[in-house]
Amino acid sequence: MTTTVTLTGTGVPIPSPGRAGPGVLVRCGGIALQFDAGRATVLRLTEAETGLHQLTALFVTHVHSDHVIGLPDVVMGRWIQDHVWKTGPLDIHVPAGEAADFAQRMLEPYAADIALRMEHVQAVPPEARVSTFTCTPGPSLVWSRDGVTVEAVAVHHEPVPDAVAYRVRTPDGTVVISGDTRVCDEVQELSQEADVLVHEACRTTALQTAVAGTPFEKIFSYHADTVALGGLAKRAGVKHLVLTHLIPAPADEAGEAEFVNDVRSGGYQGRISVGRDLMTLAIG
């Protein structure tokens, strides 16, 4: 059995060529787990040869629009295809609070479309099968099947409430997905000896002078500085650090090298990948 990790989106709210909204797909055997569903997630999944009917479950890290704007598309797309695949509703796992409220109400704007489709093709309405869990400062089990488990832990993305990181354990190894967060002890503890850590990356140290006095100064305060992230990855003994949600998005290999240099200056000497959409890594 081989576990794969695919970046279904490495972008941020500001559109960037070639970068869909945030998302990570973890596959192990017949299990396919999607983490977040940013802009164009459905297209990226299709390009990754993973049909919506193949998704086992979807997990949301927090309610920011760039991480959930593709969620109705996933649910509606799966429903529209259901008369072919007969897969039924998708299990969606979200932290209790505002993210759960969004997930439970996200299909309301599509009421007219749903009614029209049910007149012609669909036998039943779409169902957002949402399960909620409470954010905790220590890892808590939120999902388990066939030797694969998913744990969640609260992270620091204040002022956004109820933001979490996830740890996926499979027979092949461990994958941690940070969601959006400052560099924090909770993610460091979650990532101890992880085979892969997919972590958001913001070049705060390099850009702090340029953003001083602008709105971006506040945004940078609740994202993960690349230099500090290098220290976290070193202390946690992470085997492979994958950077995503890239701020600012690198335009070329020289731009990617700047992210790597930042992380190295923080002390991490392990393997680093600067994320590109559809980058896929194998574990085991």
Active site members:
66
226's tokens: 């690349």
Q: How far apart are CA 201 and CA 185, in angstroms?
A: 16
120's tokens: 């012609």
- Region of 193 please: left (phi>0), alpha (psi -120 to 50) or beta: left
57's tokens: 């479950």
Helices 253-265 and 226-236: crossing angle in degrees, nearest 10, is 60
Judge whether 160 and 271 are in contact, CB under 8 Å.
no
Judge whether 187 and 181 are in contact, CB under 8 Å.
yes
Q: Residue 202: which residues within 8 A CB-CB, separation 6 or more?
A: 220, 223, 224, 225, 226, 245, 247
Helices 204-211 and 226-236: crossing angle in degrees, nearest 10, is 160
Q: How far apart are CA 122 and CA 89, in angstroms?
A: 13
Report how far apart, in Å, the C-alpha atoms of 140 and of each of 79, 88, 165, 191 are: 30, 27, 11, 14
Rounded to 5 degrees, φ, ψ at 241 are -100, 125
DSSP assignment letter at 153:
E
Q: Residue 274: which residues within 8 A CB-CB, separation 6 or more?
A: 201, 243, 246, 250, 256, 259, 260
- Angle, vertex CA 20, rays to CA 15 and CA 22, nearest 5: 105
